[in-house]
Amino acid sequence: MKICLHLLLISLSCLPFLQSNAQQKGMPKIGVCTSYENDSLLAAAGFKYIESGARFLFGPSVPDTTYNRTLSRMRAMKLEGGVCNSFIPNDIRLTGAEASEPRILGYVDSLMQRASKAGIKIIVFGSAGARKLAEGQDSATALRELIAISRKMAGVAAKYDVIIAMENLNSGEDNFINTLDIVTHIVKSVNHPNFRITVDIFHMLRQGERPEAILPAAPWLVHCHIAENAGRRAPGTAGEDFTPYLAMLKKAKYKGRISMECGWKNMPEECRPALGYLQKQLAAAYK
């Protein structure tokens, strides 16, 4: 028995050497928000995963034949999946007179069921068109309604072991939930283990939100997006210094994923330098 225990301890002690250098140092994995068709390209460049659009892959309007092809493609991928964005379509309102709880929860249930079968564990909740205020809508009332429906959506997500991760969006895209501070307030109020936070550093930069806003969000932080402020381009395009925000991620003990959600003029030429640029800043912040 002692010999078996000794061998087990030796095996466990070797596990760090089976991981990447980044994971040994506790740094986040880096991926890209893009189509699964870019799997081979991004795997060769050194990325760890792809984040694609949930409603386009798993939404109830997607035919079963298309969905089954997606499942086959995901099983053959070199990179990980596990996370998606593009949660709620624009024509499903979450607050106000046009909001229909049965329609919202029916949509979420259908999507979550399919996403769960595909191995998706986190779905980013930006969805500006669904959550932004209509003309003349009272923001305080809408906030209460958004918290209430988010709690019910989280209950649906829990059935399928999926986490909804609300994202901060800048005021040029969303007239309602514009800062990480507000997202943190909402997630605390929802108070459900399947409703967490995506911090989007691009939107923080665009909104002028301080890096320190990441720290109060730390207990609920499960995902991260990034892009340069200028033109929403890939890291390194204009030399954006992300290190103050990355340092706050490190201080928050964040070791999850960071997705490049950005525009590319030429992904095959730009993706490898972008990865190297972000890795260098991560290494400086996480040292």
What gap in Å lies between CA 274 and CA 9, rounded to an integer? 39
Enter the DSSP assignment of 221.
E
- Max Cα–Cα distance, the chain, nearest Å: 72
259, β-bridge pairs: 31, 225
User: Distance between CA atoms of 230 and 233, rounded to whole angstroms?
Assistant: 7
List strand residue ranges (DSSP E) for the chain, in order.
29-33, 49-53, 83-85, 122-125, 163-167, 195-200, 221-226, 257-260
Q: For the chain, 287 residues long, give each residue's pLDDT as a single digit of tens.
A: 333 333 333 333 333 322 333 334 579 999 999 999 999 999 999 999 999 999 999 999 999 999 999 999 999 999 999 999 999 999 999 999 999 999 999 999 999 999 999 999 999 999 999 999 999 999 999 999 999 999 999 999 999 999 999 999 999 999 999 999 999 999 999 999 999 999 999 999 999 999 999 999 999 999 999 999 999 999 999 999 999 999 999 999 999 999 999 999 999 999 999 999 999 999 999 98
